[in-house]
Structure 1
Amino acid sequence: MSDKQKGILLESGTNELEIVEFSIGDNKFGINVIKVKEIILPVPVTKIPRSHPTIEGIIDIRGEVLPVVNVAKALGYPPSTHPEQDKFIVAEFNKTKMVFHVHTVSQIHRISWDQIEKPSDMYQGLESHITGVVKQEQGMILLLDFEKIVVDINPASGITKDRISKLGNRERSNKKLMVVEDSPLLRQLIQDTLSQAGYTNLQFFENGKEALLFLESLRHSKKVLEEVQIIITDIEMPQMDGHHFTKRVKDDAELSILPVIIFSSLITEDLRHKGKQVGADAQVSKPEIAELVQLIDQYIL
């Protein structure tokens, strides 16, 4: 790898990512390299009585006890026909580590977020588990929504209204919030929880590209601060990711006044520097919605 290529991977806000390609049955899937801690050969799993059907059990990796998720079962696929090729992907997001049992792991691709298309309703019931589609000559790679798989297993691990209750009674606010989030499920959960926290004036966008075009239209009409008082953005989104979107906002003389809070499953101590490099005012790991509300209170114009 050249120094220039290494620089691209180290630099934040380039709108690029690397994905690990893996398979379940005949379908090719992808996971962001940032979420992957390591890929190992399957090891014996200790079963847990009365656990969720997609949880195979637990394994010990260097003193850490981690749950193993059978991805094929989570997606409604049959078991592997060549179990000798199976792999365990050890992943970390939402401040949680777990293991995903997949059928093969083939290669790593470096791509731009603008190469990733929004999924349609044509994926045979998979659409709710797919966050994006990468078209290649060899076929399509479907980016899997691992956060949804985890919330399906343990709803309490997601964004819930219960997390807001500890903030106590709150007044209604007329402040206008821009929320940039590609997941329909999370858009609804964020709307429900922020509304309960008093922020009912929300405008949602599915990716950074859509949100930036809207902000630029406001800039031309000199109405930026009339229509938006704060931005909350995810990181992983088709077309334009949250880091690149934040960089574009903060590099714009008229838009840079807007506070930007990154709300993502990828906020870890190892990756927090990426948000700082692009100028984010604050960063919160999903699903800490109460912490997000407190930061909105602090930063909103």
Structure 2
Amino acid sequence: MAGVLDSVNQRTQLVGQNRLELLLFRLDGSQLYGINVFKVKEVLQCPRLTLMPKSGPVVRGVANIRGTTLPILDLALAIGKPALADLQNSFTIITEYNTQTLGFLVRSVERIVNMNWEEILPPPKGAGLDHYLTAVTHFENQLVEIIDVEKVLAEAAPVSEVASVEILDADVQIKALSCRVLIVDDSSVARRQIIRCLQNLGVEVVALNDGREALTFLKQMADEGRRPADEFLMMISDIEMPEMDGYTLTTEVRHDPRMQDMHILLHTSLSGVFNQNMVKRVGADDFLAKFQPDDLATRVAERIRHADRN
């Protein structure tokens, strides 16, 4: 499996083209699952695991990977399925997102497929509220379920969603009460985290589920003669989203003179230097890795101060 991932440079050529690569894998059973290759560092045979006392129920142990001790989560357990039984013949997907590195145990790793975000669809409406899907797609007439790994991480290692009180001075706190922020994120967990963080600052939040929905919303505002930049302090958008990613959303906004001056912060679980370069390429104002409430609150506070000066 050492060669299952292409070089980072090759993969980043897809960025900004509303395309992605999915690493397809299976748990026990025939169902295909997918994860964005940008979240994956490497794939390897299940390493030797050391049990850790008081670890979470989905953590099967820790492993030493290239000199670093990483928690290894049973992905089947994490999404409510029976635990993987034959660990010796399983694989571990080493991931890096939300500023954390960890491994996911899976039964098998199939292949990498190149897809358009327009082929990635939101979960079916009948899936309920407790599912672990962030999107679905089809490959060779098979349904591929894309797991909300941010939700898995949030449940395995909960983080505070409240920013430190000293982030906002009294003047900014007062001004925050009259500010609205548009957030765009397909992960229900990520939306909840951002909403709670911003609401604790006193900011009003409008939340949308993906880039296509956000672009339609903003264009409708503009068609009605309203300037989005006048009504929203900023837009905080995820990058990975079904139908239209955050890079493409940003590009579309910048190309429309009615909304091109909107302040855009790309807020993503994806790691890597390439994100900084893509922020400049597509015209976003800033980039922030998820999810650090103090960092997010600081960026919002800076924006409030800047907007007040103007």
Normalised by the length of structure 1, the TM-score is 0.89
Partners of 1:165 and 1:135 in 2: CA distance:
46
Residue 298 of structure 1 corresponds to which residue in structure 2? 302
2:216 counterpart of 1:213: yes
**What residue ranges of structure 1 are gaps of 5+ in the alignment?**
1-5
Work out the percentage of aligned pairs sharing the same amino acid.
Answer: 28
Q: Which amino acid aligns with 1:24?
A: L
8 Å contact kept, 2:39–2:271: no
Residue 167 of structure 1 corresponds to which residue in structure 2? 167
**Residues 1-301 of structure 1: pairs in structure 2 closer than 5 A:** 9-10=12-13, 12-26=15-29, 27-80=31-84, 83=87, 85-123=89-127, 128-156=131-159, 160-161=161-162, 163-168=163-168, 170-171=173-174, 172-200=176-204, 202-224=205-227, 225-299=229-303, 301=307
Partners of 1:137 and 1:277 in 2: CA distance:
33
**What residue ranges of structure 2 are gaps of 5+ in the alignment?**
1-8
Q: 1:160 to 1:8 in 2, by over 3 A?
A: closer
Choose 147-156 or 247-256, whichever is displaced more: 247-256
Partners of 2:186 and 2:273 in 1: CA distance:
24
Task: Report the alpha carbon displacement of residue 113 of structure 1 after superposing the two structures with TM.
Answer: 1.1
Choose 180-189 or 202-211, whichever is displaced more: 180-189
Q: 1:8 to 1:288 in 2, by over 3 A?
A: closer
Partners of 1:121 and 1:215 in 2: CA distance:
24
Q: Which amino acid aligns with 1:61?
A: I
Q: Which amino acid aligns with 1:107?
A: R
User: Residues 132-163 of structure 1, C-alpha deviation per residue, up to 9 Å, x if partnerless?
Assistant: 0002343111011111111111112xx511x3
8 Å contact kept, 2:275–2:287: no
Task: Report the alpha carbon displacement of residue 270 of structure 1 after superposing the two structures with TM.
Answer: 4.3
Partners of 1:43 and 1:85 in 2: CA distance:
10
Task: Report the alpha carbon displacement of residue 275 of structure 1 after superposing the two structures with TM.
Answer: 2.2
Partners of 2:155 and 2:264 in 1: CA distance:
29
Q: Which amino acid aligns with 2:252?
A: R
Find the residue that maps to 2:218 and give its secondary structure: helix
Partners of 1:86 and 1:128 in 2: CA distance:
24
Partners of 1:23 and 1:144 in 2: CA distance:
12
Q: 1:119 to 1:94 in 2, by over 3 A?
A: same
Q: Which amino acid aligns with 1:142?
A: E
Normalised by the length of structure 2, the TM-score is 0.86
User: Residues 182-217 of structure 1, C-alpha deviation per residue, up to 9 Å, x if partnerless?
Assistant: 1223222222210111212x2111111111111112
Q: 1:164 to 1:263 in 2, by over 3 A?
A: farther
8 Å contact kept, 2:74–2:84: no
Task: Report the alpha carbon displacement of residue 11 of structure 1 after superposing the two structures with TM.
Answer: 5.1
Partners of 2:11 and 2:33 in 1: CA distance:
24
